[in-house]
Chains A and B, each alone.
Chain A
């Protein structure tokens, strides 16, 4: 193990921007995944020059560098499984420019998503990829992960919003990628390559990102279905109809029961519910879109159809979906809600089958799983609820996950829709990308020959996610 020259790092970032106490290191060893591994030192740079110096040093000394934003990743992306320097980018948190005439803003990577949107609001615009964790997720972390959220079905993911990046490479060199323009025809579009690379190719120190106008009208509807198949068919038909939903969410029966059980919302316990929303500047146009989606749901045996423009009523309808995350955590006193097999994307026509497969794999392996997600983007989320202290539950989860991703692969889906790969989904990722792994390794080798940037993630992740690193849970037997 290479040792870190702490005085050297202290000289680069200053005393106030470095932590070496074992307690701090332990606290920074976790994110929202199932893993835990302490880094050797935490460094919080204030500016690009410091990032360059830290990387140049780490590259020379061959010390791993793990870049971290809000630490809200679900797959272990920011867990320093090989130790090394943890680069906490929350120190670089300035919104540098809001450029209305050219419709972009420039931000440092530590800017928090919600803060950016609060700053953009007075201008009547918003940054749309916004994941559910937007209150703490940083723009840098969202770029590393190619984050998206409920409205990405209409407005796209982070990769669609990023126009340009300033990136510090492994050797400390600073490169400017992309442009200040919406289009850029030639070359390798290297800024897009950095998006979703999970900190393995460089450290983003500045981003040029686009924004869109805040719509004047939003209309949200709901439809209940007695079968997942019907809900799945409705999703496919809506997306094929030319309708442009600004949100299209699926929640399954497990999710509905969880919300009812923990929040007492009294939702009708059906096989599946669809939430559909349209937005825009013209009320009639918005209503036209929603009406069309409603008709498609009706045609596919959707019941209890209802929609509203009213903000309070919309909030009421959306409450169930919004409360799902906490509801799953509080589902059962003896069960923890773990981020495993947490997302995937499948073709629209396979949505219902995917949800059914998740239920089947869960039942077979003695765990509880739910299926929900931004199905308008083909995105499906799950959580595994299990007794994390029991070894057999982990083995059951492992089998269920293997079955689920085997199915995802067989129907030409993809391993991650928006949460990323990190460690926990790497097994499936490596199978899915089997024929391009060498290409990825070549890119990685070209940009980071000493393999210092977030080593052991994505295609480099260890084979078995359960034993890849220490689990954050105390597993007894």
Chain B
């Protein structure tokens, strides 16, 4: 069914590239949103299809269409995997520009600030993408094109006034819940690893192993999508729930899209001090920097850490 076409001034230039997307689907295996919901319509290929549909007029612009276009964590793994060299995130950013002009702002995965905001402006200073600003009479405003959903503002806000409405399993409450659930699920559970990126997640990706294969599982990897999001509670929760140790995986210094590794380093250092004050071996928390896609290194780091933790035994 053809409907009246909306003009998408910025998106238009991508029409040829959208035709070049061969829709092989190689992008969606990498997408953190697809991995969380397992709906193809949340994956990068669907975004290309959506953009094509908007340009041809086959898709009607509705609030839910707009919302979908504001869902992305900008890990760019889809682009790295794309067999046709399609600039998926650039296309989506141009679509966002058009949508903002048409009065749609998401929010999707972009961050929003609650009215309870105390206007301390820490988030404005901390945002690595210059997406937050303070405007007199309006308070904190977020540019939904610039925001890359890293969540650093969420972590830094002292009164928890900032949220990412669609978290796809990466908000603190959800991560803490999953950490606690794993640690209490089996005798063998010892370690939680927070990994900033799915790309080096060494386990199987989109399927489930037989229970017999995982009944002795000693660690759980929880993907939190930027080291900059890690806060003290997230690091402490496992220890309060019988964990023997916590491993934090972040990008190397020159690879992080949000400079989140620096924040993670500081927080891990602080947690080490806390553990030391409690007379607990600070080596029970450890940070590793793993390049995009290096599953082997990630597995090796996990193995080394597990060996060390097993030598230490449980916290007495």
Residues of B within 8 A of A112 (CB): 29, 204-207
CB of A177, distance to nearest CB on chain B (Å): 22
CB-based contact A115/B206 at 8 Å: yes
Would you give the 0/1 interface string for B34-56, flagging 1 where the beta carbon is closer than 8 Å to chain A?
Answer: 00001111000110011011011
**Contact pick for B58, options A26, A94, A115, CB 8 Å:** A26
Say whether B22 contacts A94, CB under 8 Å: no
Known: A26-B58, A88-B40, A111-B207. A72 touches B85 (CB 8 A): no
Complex contact A93–B207 (CB within 8 A): yes
Across the interface, do B68 and A336 meet the contact criterion of CB distance under 8 Å?
A: no
Q: Which of B16, B24, B64, B209 contacts A333 (CB 8 A)?
A: B16
A30-B24 contact in complex given A95-B210, A115-B207, A337-B84, C-beta closer than 8 Å: no
Known: A21-B64, A22-B59. A27 touches B28 (CB 8 A): no
> A22 touching B60 by the CB < 8 A rule?
yes
Whether the pair A97, B210 counts as a contact (CB closer than 8 A) is: yes
Least distance between B62 CB and chain A CB atoms (Å): 7
Contact yes or no, B24 A23, CB < 8 A: no
In the bound complex, how far is the Cα of B13 from the Cα of A304, in angstroms? 44
User: In chain A between 76 and 116, which residues have their CB closer than 8 angstroms to a CB of chain B?
Assistant: 88, 90-91, 93-98, 110-112, 114-116
Question: How many A residues have CB within 8 A of the partner chain?
Answer: 53
Of the stretches A1-9, A323-331, A446-454, the one at the interface is A323-331
Chain B residue numbers with a CB within 8 Å of A119 are 204, 207, 209, 213
B118 contacts which chain A residues (CB < 8 A)? none
Residue of B nearest to A111 (CB): B207
Give CA–CA (A247, B39) in the complex, Å.
Answer: 35
Residues on B with beta carbons closer than 8 Å to the beta carbon of A72: 24-25
A28 within 8 A of B: yes
Contact of A32 with B64 at beta-carbon distance under 8 Å, contacts A95-B208, A115-B207, A474-B55 already known: no
Task: Judge if B23 is at the interface, Cβ distance under 8 Å.
Answer: yes
Contact flag A23-B23 (CB < 8 Å), given A94-B208, A98-B210: no
Given A88-B40, A112-B206, A329 and B50 touching (CB < 8 A)? no
Query: Which residues of chain A (313-347) have a CB below 8 Å from chain B?
Result: 325-326, 329-330, 333-334, 336-339
* B89 interface hit (Cβ, 8 Å): no
A33 to B62, CA, bound (A): 27
Q: Does B119 interact with chain A (Cβ within 8 Å)?
A: no
Residues from chain A with a CB closer than 8 A to the CB of B16 are: 333-334
B 7-32 contacts with A by CB, 8 A: 15-16, 19-20, 22-26, 28-29
B65 within 8 A of A: yes
Cβ 8 A contact of B62, one of A23, A24, A42, A96: A23
User: Which residues 177-224 in B have Cβ within 8 Å of A in the complex?
Assistant: 203-210, 213
Would A26 and B50 count as touching, CB distance under 8 A? yes
Whether the pair A27, B40 counts as a contact (CB closer than 8 A) is yes
Question: A115 — which chain B residues lie within 8 A by C-beta?
Answer: 204-207
What is the distance, in angstroms, from A380's C-beta to the closest C-beta of chain B?
19
* Residue total for B at the interface (Cβ-Cβ under 8 A): 43
Is A136 on the interface with B (CB-CB < 8 A)?
Answer: yes
Which A residue sits closest to B81, measured CB to CB?
A135
B83 sits at the interface (CB 8 A): yes
Contact B40 A23 (CB under 8 A): no
Q: What number of residue pairs across chains A and B have CB atoms under 8 A from each other? A: 134
- Which partner residue on chain B sits nearest A98 by CB separation? B210
Q: Is the CB of B206 within 8 A of A93?
A: yes
Taking a contact as CB atoms under 8 Å apart, the answer to whether A474 and B206 are in contact is: no
Known: A23-B64, A90-B38, A339-B22. A330 touches B210 (CB 8 A): no
Q: CA–CA, A339 to B25, complex, Å? A: 14
CB distance from A453 to the nearest CB of B (A): 21
CB contact between A95 and one of B19, B39, B207 (< 8 Å): that residue: B207
Residues of A within 8 A of B26 (CB): 133, 135-136
Does A329 lie within 8 Å of B85, measured CB to CB? yes
Cα of A72 to Cα of B38 in the assembled complex, Å:
15
Which residue of B is nearest A16, CB measured?
B37
Cβ-defined contact, A30 with B84, below 8 A: no
Contact partner of B19 among A42, A91, A135, A473, CB < 8 A? Answer: A473
- Of residues B26, B28, B55, which shows the largest number of chain A Cβ atoms within 10 Å of its Cβ? B26
CB distance from B90 to the nearest CB of A (A): 15
Distance of A134 Cα from B84 Cα, bound (Å): 17
Report the minimum CB–CB distance from A128 to chain B (whole Å).
18
Q: Which residues in B have their C-beta under 8 angstroms from that of A32?
A: 22-25
Question: In the docked arrangement, what's the CA distance between A42 and B205, Å?
Answer: 23
CB–CB A31/B23 < 8 A = yes
Query: Is the C-beta of A398 less than 8 angstroms from some C-beta in chain B?
Result: no
Q: CB distance A337 to B22 under 8 Å?
A: yes
Query: Do B19 and A326 have beta carbons less than 8 Å apart?
Result: no
Indicate if the CB atoms of A326 and B58 lie closer than 8 Å. Answer: no
Chain A residues with CB under 8 A of B64: 21, 23
Alpha-carbon separation in the docked complex, A250 to B163 (Å): 54
Sample of 20 more A-B contacts, CB < 8 Å, known A19-B41, A326-B82: A19-B39, A24-B41, A26-B50, A28-B41, A30-B49, A32-B23, A33-B23, A44-B39, A71-B25, A88-B39, A93-B38, A93-B208, A112-B207, A115-B206, A326-B84, A329-B85, A330-B84, A337-B84, A473-B19, A474-B55
A sample of 12 inter-chain contacts (CB < 8 A) reads A23-B59, A26-B53, A32-B25, A88-B39, A90-B38, A118-B203, A119-B204, A326-B82, A326-B83, A329-B84, A333-B16, A474-B19
Question: Taking beta carbons and an 8 Å cutoff, which residues of B are in contact with A?
Answer: 15-16, 19-20, 22-26, 28-29, 38-41, 45-46, 49-50, 52-53, 55-56, 58-60, 62, 64-65, 68, 82-85, 203-210, 213
